[in-house]
Chains A and B, each alone.
Chain A
Amino acid sequence: EVQLVESGGVVVQPGGSLRLSCAASGFTFGDYTMHWVRQGPGKGLEWVSLISWDGTSTYHADSVKGRFTISRDNNKNSLYLQMSSLRAEDTALYYCAKDSLNRRFGELWDYMDVWGKGTTVTVSS
């Protein structure tokens, strides 16, 4: 069974830093682009970042560019999101999501076909 389990969400003060993790299982992790998507309290979905299957290409939303860094360790089947200079508006449930497209097709990304349950980040003093 394909599974994604996020962890690392806590309460952090404005300006603080945090690293989220996502443990993947049930598929060949190194063959797929991975994403982070967040959802503020009572709000809609916001795409945050993606990283290519080999980690060489990354993209970030403008709202987090320069503050968040996505990375992965294919040997550990793990995805990460390093968050710094956190703001109140970063408060959200953060989802890890698997891209649907296997790297053998050559394109970098497609739609997201598997999602984790999320981990909650609260930025508050």
Chain B
Amino acid sequence: EIVLTQSPGTLSLSPGERATLSCRASQSVSSNYLAWYQQKPGQAPRVLIYGASSRATGIPDRFSGSGSGTDFTLTISRLEPEDFAVYYCQEYGSSPQTFGQGTKVEIK
């Protein structure tokens, strides 16, 4: 089982600032099968990024994903008020699929 460790646990930023979220895997993620999801309070998760760097349908271009192997990053170039949420990375190249513990992006 691949263990995903996200950092930081909480990111306190202001609207307009840049957010950089990290996801580190305990072993290499095959074919970059790494996704990022956003979850707002009381809502289901929504996919943002798949294949480490491909934006899902309808996702604004301020969201970008990068990385390979064991180190992956989600970047939000300029935070909008609706971006304050919890973000999870997920590895889906093997079974069991695993999620990171999440990074909360909160308003400073």
Interface set of A (CB-CB < 8 Å, partner B):
37, 44-47, 50, 59-62, 95, 100, 109-113, 115-118
B8 to chain A, nearest CB (A): 15
- Given contacts A44-B102, A45-B99, A111-B90, list 14 more A-B pairs with CB under 8 A: A44-B88, A44-B100, A45-B37, A45-B39, A45-B102, A47-B99, A59-B96, A60-B96, A95-B45, A109-B97, A110-B50, A112-B92, A116-B44, A117-B44
**Do most interface residues of chain B lie in helix, strand or loop, or is the interface mixed?**
loop
- Which residues 25-72 of B sit at the A interface, judged by CB distance below 8 A? 33, 35, 37, 39, 44-47, 50-51, 56
Contact present for A111 and B35 (CB under 8 Å): yes
Chain B's nearest CB lies how many Å from the CB of A66?
14
Specify the chain B residue showing the minimal Cβ separation from A113.
B47
| Given the contacts A59-B96, A62-B96, A45 and B44 also touching, CB distance less than 8 Å | no
Q: Which residues of B contact A95 (CB under 8 A)?
A: 44-45
A113 vs B92: C-alpha distance when bound (angstroms): 12
Q: How many residues of B contact A (CB 8 A)?
A: 23
Count of A-B contacts judged by CB separation below 8 Å? 55
Cβ B45 vs Cβ A118 within 8 A:
no
Closest approach, in angstroms, between the C-beta of A104 and any C-beta of chain B?
Answer: 18
The residues of A that contact B46 with a CB separation of less than 8 Å are 115
B residues near A (Cβ < 8 Å) are: 1, 33, 35, 37, 39, 44-47, 50-51, 56, 88, 90, 92, 95-102
Q: In the complex, are the beta carbons of A111 and B44 less than 8 A apart? A: no
Q: Is the CB of B92 within 8 A of A109?
A: yes
Known: A45-B37, A95-B44, A116-B44. A111 touches B99 (CB 8 A): no
Nearest CB on A from B22, distance (A): 16
Note all chain A residues with C-beta closer than 8 A to B95: 50, 59
> For the complex, what is the distance from the CA of A62 to the CA of B1, rounded to whole Å?
10
Neighbouring B residues of A115 by C-beta, 8 Å: 44-46
A90 to B90, CA, bound (A): 21
Q: How far is the CB of A2 from chain B (nearest CB, A)?
A: 11
Contact B44 A113 (CB under 8 A): no
Q: What CA separation (Å) do A59 and B96 show in the bound complex?
A: 8
What 10 A-B pairs come out closest when comparing CB atoms?
A115-B44, A111-B35, A111-B50, A47-B97, A45-B99, A59-B95, A44-B102, A61-B96, A44-B101, A111-B92
